[in-house]
Structure 1
């Protein structure tokens, strides 16, 4: 899923007691879709530095720990922390956040608290398939990393990215890269995004999840130099935020099937084949009124009370997102 971007009106809406928050109502309608996957990844855009640092909103975000609790509750396994807000509240917020993700048993990538942590390729084995995860951002809003602490956040440094992908490829079946780049509010990806995805594909990345534009951008298949196929969705939009323009209220859950086939030749040499297939999308809409009652609703469940002219907007989103992937399916059934 896309950006978990907790503006002040979102956490104020979730407040249940002084400095205590509960985001579960906001996620109620999408929880069944998130829970059904074997592996779920989110973009933790506003850092969960916790209440002790003082909560804050744009331009320097700091979110309550309970954001982590709701992501754990809906089944999130991995969060990417590399984005333009990673350094908003300094090193302490990164330490607090990574400690909390560790406590929840959620794997984080894209930020680290030591050189050793930064160099470790994070992996997870699901259904006998070993997945590895990487995350990079184009920048951090002009905030510089402290000298000697470059490990705090991963930037899109092509040389580093290539090395990391090669390292990940050597120890896993599937390499998933999260990229934080592109033009904010642009509904189409740009040449720089394509360049970085192609580079990742050429060096063996299997799946690319894009973040940052705050609106949905189409998915596309890329072919690497070795003929390998890489699936990329250039932006997953805002999953939860207080941005109030139509396309900024629309995000998505992207579902992919991964299959692993192992064969042996006469000399008992093993060949592993990985296939990424059946791309499915569930477009979602963040409904709220007067900066209250935030709710993430699958677009297929919207009514005209939720969003005027919702059906034609939903149809346009479907054609926009599938224009380069005609086989894209949409998760249209209502999950009980």
Structure 2
């Protein structure tokens, strides 16, 4: 990868009655990259966290208009991505584990209606109802014509990237899980379906290298880390370095259920934890969230921004916030970044 110059914009989208926007923090921020010109087109990527349709979020599938706040944050991006942390099935056999998530058919169609363009299912709930449930999940995605990464009928398909070509820029997207729970039973192999498990480091690194050969920008969406810990684990930091060295330009993740830090790892932009997004459980400690927006210019990551958001305690659907609410969430983000080992995108 080539050396790059970067700029950070803190962006707050307001809801309904125009709440005051958070103040942009420009301390120690490099000079802005020149605006897009003909022959120098911009591509915008948007990422958010864990999604499923159960408990308080189940009603979304009967009224997808409830996802309008999500669409306002995501739909204008050229590529928008989330993690669907559930089996989409009415069948299968439940695994012996504490938390089981099942969403009815239509989950991918609902996400598509909200402007989501690609979904990772590489997580510790995709096989909650076994490989039958996984097959049903992938079938629901196919019905909705939604690209899915991170799982497949074999390791080759699970580790494969989805390639977008947007105004001449090629974006490769991969999904992987590093969560240890049931990883050996659930991993995709040469002969069996399953999840792309990043604990198979050789295969994970090779998948990123192959994507880098095919694309200008490589995105890896990971399920990793320790739940409720705002600082990334040693495993996360080690894997982030390995994937960045292999050619990943953007590395984003979920699983901690709280916001983890984001910033630069040499030439790669890393967001260790996006927290929950469309979420079943009303837990004030995990309702803070955000959307990460990446601007790509001339085949390079040029800038990054976050949209602070909060998950509605009744509906489980996030909405963008401004004013004091945004300032508070940006403070959470800043403190998390301080222990991330990343180069901060701007001064606190």
Partner of 1:109: 149
Structure 1 gap ranges (5+)? 15-20, 224-228, 261-273, 302-308, 330-336
Distance in 2, matches of 1:254 and 1:8, equals: 26
Partner of 1:193: 236
Q: Which has the higher strand share?
A: 1
Distance in 1, matches of 2:112 and 2:325, equals: 30
Aligned partner (choices 197, 208, 212) of residue 155 of structure 1: 197
Partner of 1:313: 328
| Structure 1 vs Structure 2 CA RMSD | 2.8
Pairwise CA distance, 1:10: 2.2
- 1:113-157: CA deviation from partner (whole Å, max 9, x where unpaired): 245533643211112111112111124632613987544111111
Aligned partner (choices 259, 265, 276) of residue 238 of structure 1: 276
Change (3 A) 1:276 1:328: farther
Aligned residue pairs: how many?
A: 293
Pairwise CA distance, 1:197: 0.3
Pairwise CA distance, 1:94: 1.3
Q: Is the 8 A contact 1:237 1:251 kept in 2?
A: yes
Aligned partner (choices 254, 260, 277) of residue 302 of structure 2: 277
Partner of 2:346: 327
Distance in 2, matches of 1:220 and 1:185, equals: 20
Higher RCO structure, 1 or 2 (CA under 8 Å, sep 6+): 2
Partner of 2:82: 42
Aligned partner (choices 153, 157, 164) of residue 207 of structure 2: 164
Distance in 2, matches of 1:311 and 1:79, equals: 26
Pairwise CA distance, 1:26: 3.4
Pairwise CA distance, 1:251: 1.7
Structure 2 gap ranges (5+)? 1-47
Partner of 1:145: 186
The TM-score with structure 1 as length reference comes to: 0.78
Pairwise CA distance, 1:318: 4.9
Identify which range, 62-71 or 52-61, moves more after superposition: 52-61
Pairwise CA distance, 1:173: 1.2
SS in 2 for 1:217: coil
Aligned partner (choices 244, 256, 263) of residue 294 of structure 2: 256
